[in-house]
Amino acid sequence: MFRTAIQGYQPEPNLWQGFNMRRLAIIYIITLLAILNSISVAENINPDSVVQHYIDRGYLDCEFTVGEDSLIVNKGIQYRVDKIILLPADTIFLEKRIIFLKNSLEQVIQSLLQAKISDGYLYQNYIPIEFSKGDSTVTIIFAQNEGPRPQIGTISFEGLKQTNEKQLKQYFELEKFSYITEEQMKSIENDAVEIPYITYSPPPLIQLRPGYTEADIILNAKEKRLFALEGSIGYLSDVDEIIWMGDLTLQNLFGKGKKIDIFSQKINTDKQNLSIHYWQPSFLFGVGGIEFSVSTRDYRNQFYEFDMQTEAMYKIRKSLKIGAGLQYKTVEPDSDDGSFSVYAAAFKANYSNSSGIYLKNNQYSIGWELTYSARRSSPRDSLQTVDLAYDDTRIHLVVSYKLPLILQTSVYNKFQYSGFETKDDLPPLSELFLIGGERTIRGFRDEQFAAIRTLLATTEYHIGFNSGYMFTFLDAAYLYNRIDENSTTIDDEYYRFGYGIGILIENRGREFRISFGWNKDLPFDQPRLSVQFQTGL
């Protein structure tokens, strides 16, 4: 049965009540000796019991003859069930005939009951009334009683203190007069798991109303902690420098799921990022959210960037989300190149089966994003009187999947393509893809490589244990860029590889991850050390 607790539900009665298993065991031991259908019996053995033993095993024509000191049993043929008739109208032909045994029949009835209960008939019952015997087959006739089929009344939560329950109900996509089916209950649980600011704990409780035609669904959940902190720290041995990243999140503000995220990162002494994100739930076009962000990139010897973005993302199907966004940013290069502004519109989609409570063994995710932008530059020098204008296009494609192997091992693979199409032969550094470090090529410094087009691949092998897993990784990248060499633009293509080992430990919503990464130019005793943690406050 599907994973629920049903108050007021009474299971079907045992169709074989009164069957004495101990008595059967004694008879079975005795009949093991009847190899040639003949057995010597003591005076206290009841022949009827022996015959009943064979009848219970499908030998419906079993007969016996009693001698002076023996019991001769003629078993006859073993009958099989080929058809089940469910009155008043259903007939089920079995694909594989089963022996006319108690256990076999119980399995058939349980499978029939499971199918009906999964379809919402919680009080379905089958009562055997008779059977008819053919030459070697048996047809069993059952009377079926469907009983009421409860519909879903309301969905409520237990365990929440401040969260707006009216808003939570908008996350559930229920049709009018929905029945309590297995598929519907899975959908409700998956919707509950995907609510970003609460933690759902299965199973749900089904509380039947008087009359058993309606039932209320009660979900047990708790709010996530108000503060969540994620961070990492790394050591660059070749330059003797520590880099870091910090991400502080305030979530479920005012009980309405609103979230503020403050992100800060030091890539090296001359490179720092800062961003502030605001997100809130939105149900304008389905279940989704709206996000606003402001960010800066201060690359002191290269450029300074100020960026503003807004984005909306909605779930339009079970596993499919689509969204769109707008962006405006200004960039001040540190060189003699003039400043410029960028106006952009983005469209994105994501398809994934790796969320929800009933996860499949093979989990995968596909993400796609297309961005159109207009870049307008001020004159680079006094001789240039016309502003430069470029219309650029970016595309991102990410595919990831996780496959279980044997025991507690699994493999995780991720492929990511990023492309930048522009008529500018030498686009500014701020517009390129900056590759290196965590989430790109581990074993290198952060943002060590600039590229117009890049293809990244990651493979991780996980060895699980009770509180986390150990892993090994291999990162590879193809990078393409255009560079200026002696006033001539030339293509620059190359490959990079990083590899390493690490461990992740989880405990009560907290995560700690440490890894060591290398590339071909790093000595074994000087790996890139990365330490990451995630916790609630």
Identify the pLDDT of residue 479: 96
Identify the pLDDT of residue 446: 85
In the numeric block, which tokens belong to residue 383?
């001789």
pLDDT for 210 beyond 80? yes
Name which of 40-44, 76-80, 488-492 the model is least confident about: 40-44
Question: According to the per-residue pLDDT averaged within each range, which of 10-19, 74-83, 278-287 is highest?
Answer: 278-287
Q: Which of 407, 486, 496, 406 is nearest to 450 (CA)?
A: 496
More confident residue, 222 or 67: 222
Confidence label for 31 from pLDDT (cuts 50, 70 and 90): very low
Ramachandran quadrant class, 54 (left: phi over 0; alpha: psi -120 to 50; beta: rest): alpha
In the numeric block, which tokens belong to residue 146?
């469907």
Confidence label for 4 from pLDDT (cuts 50, 70 and 90): low
pLDDT over 90, % of the chain: 42
Alpha-carbon span 40 to 68, nearest angstrom: 9
Alpha-carbon span 52 to 31, nearest angstrom: 12
More confident residue, 143 or 454: 454
Name which of 217-221, 266-270, 484-488, 490-494 the model is least confident about: 484-488
Q: Which of 228, 218, 276, 280 is nearest to 254 (CA)?
A: 280
More confident residue, 366 or 30: 366
Output the average pLDDT for the chain.
84
Start-to-end CA span in the chain (Å): 38
pTM of the model: 0.78
Q: Which of 262, 337, 253, 322 is nearest to 296 (CA)?
A: 262
Identify the pLDDT of residue 382: 56
* CATH fold group of domain 151-223: Ubiquitin-like (UB roll) (3.10.20)
54: amino acid identity, one letter: Y
Domain ranges of the chain: 33-74, 79-145, 151-223, 227-536
Question: According to the per-residue pLDDT averaged within each range, which of 76-90, 91-105, 288-302 is highest?
Answer: 288-302
More confident residue, 187 or 259: 259
Name which of 95-109, 329-343, 446-460 the model is least confident about: 95-109
Identify the pLDDT of residue 44: 55
pLDDT tens readout for residues 34-64: 433 444 444 556 777 877 888 878 888 888 7
pLDDT over 70, % of the chain: 86
More confident residue, 65 or 34: 65
Please list the helix, strand and coil fractions of the chain in percent, rounded to the nearest 5, in that order.
10, 55, 35
Identify the pLDDT of residue 78: 85
Confidence label for 252 from pLDDT (cuts 50, 70 and 90): very high
pLDDT tens readout for residues 97-111: 777 776 777 777 888
What integer is the mean pLDDT of 126-152? 83
Identify the pLDDT of residue 386: 56
For 227-536, CATH gives 2.40.160.50
